[in-house]
Structure 1
Amino acid sequence: MTQPIAPRRRSVVIAGMAGAAAALLPPGRAAAAPLAGGTAEAAATGDLRPYASYWFPDSLPAGTPGEGVTWRSLGTWRAEDDPDLPFNTAAVPLAERFTPVPPNRTARTGQARVQSLVSFGHTSGNPSQGAPTADHYALTHWAYLDELVFWGGSAGEGLILAPNAPVVDAAHRNGVPVLGTVFLPPVHWGGDLRWTRDLVRRDSLGRFPLAAKLVEVATAHGFDGWFVNAETEGGDAALGAEMLAFVRDLKARGDSAGLRVTWYDAMTAGGAVSWQGALNERNQDFFRTADSMFVDFRWTPSRLASSATRAAALGRSRYELWAGVDVEANGWNKTVDWDAIIPRDGDHVVSYGFYRPEWTRNHLPAGHTPGQFHAADDRFWTGQSLDPSVPDGDGGWRAPATAVADRSTVTGLPFATTFNTGHGLRWYEDGTVTSGSEWNHLGLQDRLPGRRWVVRTEGRRPAVSFDFADAWRGGSSVLVAGPLDAPVTVELYATRLPLGPGTVVELAHRADEGPVTVELAVATREPDQPGDPVPYTYVPAGTLPGGSGWTTATLRLNGLSGELRGLGVRLTGDGAVAYRLGGLAVRTETESPASPTRLLVTGSATTDEGTGLRLRWTAAPGPLRHYELHRVLPDGTRRFLGGTCQTAYHVPGLRPEPGEPALRIEVRAVGELYTASAAASAVHPW
C-alpha cells in the first residue's frame, strides 16, 4: 500500500460554529457574527492553534523538518506534557447500535462488514477543531461502516497518527470505532528499517515500551486502537519474530483498555515485506494475534475463498478479513470482482475495506459545493438509484447499501437532530443566519438518517437531499423537491425509542414551494421481512403554504404504546413542492444541562491575524451535546465564537472593539434538545 501524502503546510484559521444557545425547535434570536476558532500548529511563531498529533516511533530523520512540520518521538511523549491533548481528546463515547430489518432483500445481516481507510488531511497541519471551509470530506454514511482507519503518515512528517477529536466524536455517535495508524513506509516512499526496529525495541526487562505508549496514546486521546502497517523492506526472520511479539504485546495491553488492533497484509512472519493478498501460512500468526487483517489488493477469488476457509480453521470469523478495494483513483468506476467478496447468490466470502473513499470529494472539480459532494457520496454508498430500497441491478459498482445491512444508534430519549452534516456555507440558528462564513467541524455533526434516501410513493419520486441553501440550525437541512402526484413517504430513522403517554415529537419545517400537507410517519414495529415497507401510522402535522417561513409542529403520540421503531414524514401536495425539514426531536420533557465552570484563559499570543487565546473550562456534569462559546460585546450583545465537544478551545484573530478595555467570553453547555446552560465567563484584558 503506497502513501501519497507528501509533507505540506496548510495555514488555516478554524471556523467556529455559530449560533446563540437555544432550544432545538422553539423560535429564538441570535446576533450574526463571523465564525472563529483555532487550527494551526503551535509553533515558534507564537501561534497557539492545535493540530492532530503525529510521531516517529523514536529516532527522527536526518536534517530539518519542512515548514509547518514538527518532528516528535513517540518514545518521549507523555500525556501530562502535551499542551494540545485537551484539544485532541475525543469526548463522545462509542455508542451501541442495532441492526434493523434491511430496506432491500439483497443486504445481509451478520455477514460482510465494511472498513474504510480515510485521509482527512495531511499528516502535519491536520486541524484539531475544524476549518473555515465547507470543502471537507464530511463522512456521513456511518450506518454501513464497522471500522474507520484515520489514514496517513509520511517519512517527512511522521509515521504514527492519532485521529483528531472531531472525527472520533462523529464516528462514536454512530457506533463506529476509529483506529490510529502506524505506517512504516516502503523504501521508495522514504521508509527506513531503523524505524521498524525502533518500534519493536525491547527495554532491559524484555518489554516493548512503544506498545505501552501506543495504548497510552489511544487511551488518552479517546480512540479505539491501531492499524499496524509495516511495509519497509529489508527485514529478516529475527525482525519478523520481534514484530509478531510486539503485536502480541500491543494486543494484550490493548485488550485491557478495550482497544482493537488491525494488521495489514505486508510483512510476513519471516520478516520480509511480501504482500500475500490472502490469509495463509506466511501471515496467519499476525491474524491470529490481531482482531482483524486488511488483505492486500493482490487478492483473487481463489485466494479469498481459501482465506475464508483458513480463518474458520483457525477458529476465527471469515468476516474479520478485510479484502482491500482501492477506490482512491476511480471511485465507483473501479473494476471490482464483487462476487469474490459479496456474491449475490450465496454467503459473503469475507468483509472488505475501502482504501481512500474520500475520492467522492477529491474527484470533484474546483469550486464544487457541499451539495455536490453529498450527491457523489450518496451514490458511492447507496448506489446509482439513490434509494437503498431499490438497489441497483447488475451494474459494475456494488454499493454497500445493496449488500450490507445498515445500523442505527437511535436508542434513547431525548433524541434530536437538525440534520447538520458537520459542514456548511453558513451557520444558522433558529432559521436565522448567524454567520455567513463557510465552516466544517465533524464533532458537531448530528446523527443523520442512515438510509439515504428511502422514498415510498405510487407516483413520481421527488428528489431528496441534504441542502445547504437554508437550515434551521447548523449548516444543512433535508430538502424534498419535485412534483407530487401522489403521497410521498420519506423514511428517516430506524429507532428503538420507548413510547409513553408523555412522548412528544417536534418538527421544525417549512415549505419553500407549496402548499404541502405534512404528516409524521411513526412505526411501532418493523417490516416482516427485508424489503417490505415500514408499517407506519400517520399523525397530522399541518398544511404549510409555500414561502411561509419556518414553523414548529408539536405532536403527541398518546395513542401509541410500546416502542417507536421508525420515523419519517409523509407529504401530500398538488403540483410542485419544495419541503424543507430542519429539525426533529423526540422527548418526554425539556431539560437544560448543568453549567460548565472555571472558564480560564490558559494561553495568549498575538500575530498579524490578531490575538489568539487558548481556553479551558471544567466540564458540566451530566449528559450534553457540545459546548458553545460567545464573546460579549461592549453593547451587551453576544457574538458566537465556536462550538466543540471538548473542554478546550482556541480562538484566533481577536481584536478589541471601540471602547472595550477587556475581552469577555462565555461558554455554555448545550443539551441533546439544544437547550443551553447558564454561562461560565472569563475576562481577558487587551
Structure 2
Amino acid sequence: MKRIKPDYYARTQWKRRMAAWMSTALLAASLTGFAGEAEAAQPHSSYWYPNTLLEWSPSKDKDARFNRGTVKLEDERIQGSKVNGNAKEEVKVLSIASMYPSTSGAPSQGSEKFHTYTFSNWQYIDKLVMWGGSAGEGLIVPPSSDVIDAAHKNGVPVFGTVFLPQTEHGGKIQWLHDLLKQREDGSFPVADKLIEVATYYGFDGWFINQETQGGTPEDAAKMAEFLTYLQQHQAPGMEVIWYDSMIEEGPVKWQGALTDKNEMFFQKGNQRVSDNMFIDFRWQFKDEKNGQYDYITPFLNSPAKAAELGRSPYDLYAGIDVEAKGYEGRFNWPVLFPDGKKATTSLGIYRPDWAYNSSETHEEYMNKEQIFWAGPGMNPANTSQPAGTDPLAWRGIAHDVVAKTVLTDSEFVTHFNTGNGHLFAVDGKVVRSRDWSNRSLQDILPTWRWIAETDGKGEALKPGFDFGKSYYGGSSLQVAGAVNKGSSTHLKLYKANIPVEATTEVSLVYADNAKDAKVKIGLAFSDAPERYEFFEPGQWTATGANQDWKQGSVKLNKYKGRTIAGISLQFESAADQADYRANIGRLAVTQVNDKAKKPHAVTDLKVIENDFRDGIYGDARLSWEAPKQKEDVLYYQVYRVHPDGKHELMGMTGNTVYYVPEMKRSLKEEATKMVVIPVNRHYQQGKAASASFDWPEYPKPTAAFKADKTLIAPGETVQFTDLSSEVTESWSWSFPGGQPASSTDQHPKVTYPEEGTYEVTLTAKNSVGEDRIQKKLITVTREAENGVGNLALGKSASASSFVNEKEAPPFAVDGNAATKWCAVGDGPHWLTVDLGAEHKVSEFVIKHAEAGGEPAAFNTRAFSIQVSSDGKEWKDAVSIKDNTQGISSHAIELTSARYVRLQIEKATQGGDTAARIYDVEVLGLK
C-alpha cells in the first residue's frame, strides 16, 4: 500500500515500520516454526502463488482439514443503544490486520505460545481482512481456522488476501497475468479456485490488492472482468473487497477517493463489481500552502459518486494507516466524521495489529489495545478530550463507532477466556500448566471495556483480565482495588438483545477474598436501556475443584416478555477493604428447562501421523468421527494420559482433527495414550475415547559440544559448552595440555598454558549406552596475544543474487547491523567473501534477520560455511541444519583460507525463501 509525504501530518506516519526489511515484501502473517522440534506433522495455514493455487485441492493437501473454520457466521448482530453520544450509527469498520508475523509457518490451530495477537474488540469492526502475502512466500493467503472461528463467533465476516506487490518489493507482472488467465469459455481458473478455497475453509470472500506496476488497459479491463466473474459465481454471502490502486488505464495510481478512474472496479451499470472499496490513505491530505495536491475534495465527492452508481457511501472504507505509529499518529477525523453530520464514508484501518507488534509484553499489548479502541481514557462511554486537544489526535474508535453485539439468542455463556493463557482450567481444576493460545477458543468478551462507575466514596474497582486464575479456559474477569462500606462499583459489561422467557435464568460463578462483599448481577431492559436492576442469588454454593468458587443463579420468570439490553455486575461491601479482588469465572443466561445432553464418545479415533525427535519428543495428528448420535458438540478436549494416570490437556477444537504439538516423553514410557472428550454447549463433558502411539526405543546419548573460542594466547581460558542430546546422564571430558586435564562437569572451563594444538574429547553416557566425540580444536599461539580480528570487515563480497543496490553483498560485511544482504527467489542462495589474502581463521559469526530487527521467523534455518584457498575448491567448515538464533557463532579448528562462502540451504524458519543476512564476521589472525 502506497504512502505519500503529507504536508501537515507527521512525516513518519506514512513510513512502513521496519522499512529496512520491507523490500523483501513482508506484508504477511504467521508464527515462527521452532527449529529442532518434532514438527513433521505440524499443519500450517495455506498460502499460494496463482499457479500453485491451481494445483491445490483438499484431497491432496494433508493440512486442509486442519485449516477449516468450524464456526458458522453469526448473522444476528445488532447495534442497539449507544453509550457514547459522539458515535455515528451509519459507520462501518473494516480492519486489515496481520494475525501472524509472516505468511508462512502459521500454525493451523493455535500454538504453545501465550503472547500472541488475540484480537478481541470485534464489537467495533464489521469485516476483517487477514493481511498476508509476500513475494518470497506466496501471494494468496486465506485466513487461518482460528481467525475464522473467532470472527464468526462475533458476527464478523473474514476475508483472505490476494496480494500483488509492487516491483520494488519483489512483485512481477507475470503474477498478475497468471491471476487473470482465462479459459477458452471465458472463465477464470484462479477465480474458481478462490471460490473453492473460501467454500472449503469456510470464510467469506477475498480482498484483492493489485499494486504491481506495468499494467495495461487490457489488464485493467480483464481485472474488472475477473472481479465480476467472482461476483457471479461465488457462493451466497461471499464478498469481494477491492483496494484503490489500479486505474482504468492499467497502471497503479492511488486515488484516495472513488473517481471516474477506479469506478470500473466498484460498479458497472447494474453489475456490482466489488462489494466494497478500501480507499487509499491520501484522502486526508491537501497542500494548503502550495496547492500542489488536493485529495480531500475528491474524497468529499465520493458519496455523490457512489450514489450516481447506485451504491451506498458506506460501501467505501476510507483507509487510515496505523502500522508504524498506531494511536500516536494524526488523522483527519473532521473530514471523515464531521461534527453534527453523517460520516462521509465508512472507516478502514490498516494494521491495527500495531498494538501487538509494538509491545514487548502481553500486558503492554492489552493496554495499547484498550487505548486504541476505547480511547485515551480507556472508557468507551467517555472519549471526550480536554479543550485545545489537537483535532487530528487519536480519540479511540469508540468515539465514532457504535459497538455491536451478537447476544441476541436465548442463551449466552462466557468464561472471559481471551483465547490464550499460562494455564487451562476446566470447572476450576487446572488441567494444563503451560502456555497456550488458540483464538478458536476465545469467548465473547465484554462489549464495553471498561465502564466502571462508583456511587459512593472512593474510586471504582479496576477491571481487567486475570491470567493467573481461571474457572474455564486461560483467564477470568477480575476487579481489584479498595472497597468502602456504603459504596459500590457498577461494571457495565455487555450490550444485548436477549428475549426473556418463563424459563430464563441468569447465573454467575465467582471467587473473591472478602466475607463482607456482595456481587450482584445487573440487567437493563430494552424499554429502559440506561436503567439497571440488580439481582442477588438467594444462595451461593461452593464449586470448583478446590471448592474455592461460588455459584449462584436467579430465575427471571417475572420478566417474561421483556428483552435484556445490558448485562452488568455490581460489587459492594459491608466493610472497608483496601485490597479487594474478585474473579468472575462464568456469566450465563440460560433456560432452566434446557438440559443439553452429555455427548456420546467420538468414534474412529486414531493417530494418523506423528514424528519423533531424539527419542524423547514426539507430536501427533489425531482424527476422529463426531458422535453418531448427532449431539450438539461445542468442542472436543484432547488429553494426554501420563504414566501416573494424570490427564493433561493438550488443547481443544471444534474440528474433528487436531494437531498435538511436541510432547516430552515421561521417563521411559513405551506408549502414550491420547483421550478425546466431547463437550456440549453447556460445557459439560461427554464420554471419552482413547488411542495410543508407541515411542521408539529409548536412545543412548549423542555427544556434541562447542567452545567459545578455539584460537587463544598462552594462559587463556576456554569455556566448553555441552550440546549432547538431552538423554545424557553423565559426562567425561579429556583435555590434553589443559588445566584441568579432565572433567566430569557438564560445562567445564579449561586453561591452556603452553603453545600447541590440542584435542578435546567428550564421552556422553546414560543407562542405555555412551557416545564419544573427539576434535582437534584448540590452537594456542603467541600470535593471538594481540587479539583476534574480523577478517571480513570491508572486504569484497559477491552473491548468487540480491534484491537491489541497497541490499547488495557488501552490506553483509560492512560491520553495520542495520544494513543487510538480501536475496529473493527459490534459492539456494550464497554469499562469498574474499579476505584479500590467506589467513588463519578460527570462528564465524553470522547475524541473521532477528539481529536486524526482523521477526525470528526469518532467521536462517539451514546453512553451511565453506572455506577455500583459491575460490574453486571448497570444503565445509560448518554445517547447521536447525538454527533458530538471531546471532549464531561457530568456532572451528584453526584453518587457512582466503575465501569464505555462506551457503544457505533453508533461508527462514518457514516457507519464505528470501535470505536476510545482516553481517558475516570471519574471526582469525590478521
In the alignment, is residue 503 of structure 1 matched against residue 500 of structure 2?
no
Structure 2 equivalent of residue 555 of structure 1: 554
Q: For residues 368 and 28 of structure 2, what CA distance do their matches in structure 1 show?
A: 28
Q: For residues 331 and 488 of structure 2, what CA distance do their matches in structure 1 show?
A: 39
Asked if 1 retains the 8 angstrom alpha-carbon contact of 2:624 and 2:657, the reply is yes
In the alignment, is residue 455 of structure 1 matched against residue 434 of structure 2?
no
**Matching residue's letter, 2:415:** T
Structure 2 equivalent of residue 339 of structure 1: 334
Give the secondary structure class of the aligned counterpart of 1:136.
Answer: coil
Q: How far apart are 1:550 and its partner, in Å?
A: 2.0
> Structure 2 matches for 1:136-535, cutoff 5 A?
136-254=116-234, 256-288=235-267, 289-300=273-284, 301-364=296-359, 366=360, 368=361, 370-393=362-385, 395=389, 396-459=393-456, 460-485=459-484, 486-512=487-513, 515-527=516-528, 533-535=530-532
Give the secondary structure class of the aligned counterpart of 1:128.
Answer: coil
Q: How far apart are 1:660 and its partner, in Å?
A: 4.8
Equivalent residue for 1:583, pick from 579, 583, 586: 586
Q: Deviations over 1:348-375 (max 9, x none)?
A: 11011111111111222x3x1x333222
Give the secondary structure class of the aligned counterpart of 1:212.
Answer: helix
Structure 2 equivalent of residue 68 of structure 1: none
**Farther off after superposition, 383-392 or 440-449:** 383-392
Q: How far apart are 1:302 and its partner, in Å?
A: 2.0
Q: For residues 330 and 549 of structure 1, what CA distance do their matches in structure 2 show?
A: 44
Q: Deviations over 1:461-506 (max 9, x none)?
A: 3211112222212111111122334222111222233323332322
In the alignment, is residue 605 of structure 1 matched against residue 608 of structure 2?
no
**Matching residue's letter, 1:571:** F
Q: For residues 351 and 224 of structure 1, what CA distance do their matches in structure 2 show?
A: 19
- In 2 relative to 1, CA 663–575 (structure 1 residues): closer, same or farther, beyond 3 Å? closer
Asked if 2 retains the 8 angstrom alpha-carbon contact of 1:617 and 1:648, the reply is yes
Structure 1 equivalent of residue 715 of structure 2: none
Q: For residues 8 and 79 of structure 1, what CA distance do their matches in structure 2 show?
A: 22
**Farther off after superposition, 289-298 or 420-429:** 420-429
Q: CA RMSD in A?
A: 2.5
Q: Deviations over 1:614-672 (max 9, x none)?
A: 11111343433221111234444322221112211112334554685533222122222
- In 2 relative to 1, CA 548–428 (structure 1 residues): closer, same or farther, beyond 3 Å? closer
In the alignment, is residue 615 of structure 1 matched against residue 637 of structure 2?
no
Q: How far apart are 1:100 and its partner, in Å?
A: 1.6
Give me the TM-score of the superposition, normalised by structure 2. 0.66
Equivalent residue for 2:658, pick from 635, 640, 649: 649
Give the secondary structure class of the aligned counterpart of 1:299.
Answer: helix
Q: For residues 532 and 32 of structure 2, what CA distance do their matches in structure 1 show?
A: 52
Asked if 1 retains the 8 angstrom alpha-carbon contact of 2:535 and 2:554, the reply is no
Asked if 1 retains the 8 angstrom alpha-carbon contact of 2:460 and 2:488, the reply is no
Asked if 1 retains the 8 angstrom alpha-carbon contact of 2:326 and 2:352, the reply is yes
Give the secondary structure class of the aligned counterpart of 1:625.
Answer: strand
In the alignment, is residue 5 of structure 1 matched against residue 21 of structure 2?
no
- In 2 relative to 1, CA 516–548 (structure 1 residues): closer, same or farther, beyond 3 Å? farther
Q: For residues 196 and 116 of structure 1, what CA distance do their matches in structure 2 show?
A: 25
**Matching residue's letter, 1:587:** T
- In 2 relative to 1, CA 527–303 (structure 1 residues): closer, same or farther, beyond 3 Å? farther
**Matching residue's letter, 2:326:** G
**Farther off after superposition, 234-243 or 183-192:** 234-243
Q: For residues 39 and 461 of structure 2, what CA distance do their matches in structure 1 show?
A: 53
Q: Which has the higher contact order (CA 8 A, sep 6+)?
A: 1
Q: How far apart are 1:127 and its partner, in Å?
A: 1.1
- In 2 relative to 1, CA 622–263 (structure 1 residues): closer, same or farther, beyond 3 Å? farther
Equivalent residue for 2:43, pick from 44, 50, 57: 50
Give the secondary structure class of the aligned counterpart of 1:309.
Answer: helix
**Matching residue's letter, 2:408:** T
Asked if 1 retains the 8 angstrom alpha-carbon contact of 2:30 and 2:106, the reply is no
Greater Cα radius of gyration, structure 1 or 2: 2
Asked if 2 retains the 8 angstrom alpha-carbon contact of 1:47 and 1:607, the reply is no
Asked if 2 retains the 8 angstrom alpha-carbon contact of 1:420 and 1:445, the reply is yes
Give the secondary structure class of the aligned counterpart of 1:197.
Answer: helix
**Matching residue's letter, 1:579:** A
Asked if 1 retains the 8 angstrom alpha-carbon contact of 2:30 and 2:103, the reply is no
Percent of aligned pairs with the same residue? 36
Q: Deviations over 1:176-198 (max 9, x none)?
A: 00000000000000000000000
- In 2 relative to 1, CA 9–335 (structure 1 residues): closer, same or farther, beyond 3 Å? closer
Equivalent residue for 2:63, pick from 72, 84, 89: 84
**Farther off after superposition, 648-657 or 405-414:** 648-657
Give the secondary structure class of the aligned counterpart of 2:586.
Answer: strand
Give the secondary structure class of the aligned counterpart of 1:652.
Answer: strand
Asked if 2 retains the 8 angstrom alpha-carbon contact of 1:12 and 1:131, the reply is no
**Matching residue's letter, 2:570:** R
In the alignment, is residue 625 of structure 1 matched against residue 634 of structure 2?
yes
**Matching residue's letter, 2:378:** L
Asked if 2 retains the 8 angstrom alpha-carbon contact of 1:668 and 1:679, the reply is yes
Equivalent residue for 1:536, pick from 533, 551, 555: 533
Structure 2 equivalent of residue 564 of structure 1: 564
Q: For residues 656 and 335 of structure 1, what CA distance do their matches in structure 2 show?
A: 53
Q: For residues 305 and 352 of structure 1, what CA distance do their matches in structure 2 show?
A: 14
**Matching residue's letter, 2:511:** R
Give me the TM-score of the superposition, normalised by structure 1. 0.88
- In 2 relative to 1, CA 560–186 (structure 1 residues): closer, same or farther, beyond 3 Å? same
Asked if 2 retains the 8 angstrom alpha-carbon contact of 1:519 and 1:541, the reply is no
**Matching residue's letter, 1:51:** H
Asked if 1 retains the 8 angstrom alpha-carbon contact of 2:596 and 2:681, the reply is no
Q: For residues 542 and 599 of structure 1, what CA distance do their matches in structure 2 show?
A: 42
**Matching residue's letter, 1:462:** L
- In 2 relative to 1, CA 439–271 (structure 1 residues): closer, same or farther, beyond 3 Å? same
Q: Which runs of 5+ in 2 are unaligned?
A: 3-21, 268-272, 285-295, 696-926
> Structure 2 matches for 1:27-176, cutoff 5 A?
47-58=40-51, 73-96=52-75, 97-109=77-89, 111-121=90-100, 122-176=102-156
Length, aligned pairs only = 634
Q: For residues 221 and 453 of structure 2, what CA distance do their matches in structure 1 show?
A: 57
Give the secondary structure class of the aligned counterpart of 2:620.
Answer: strand
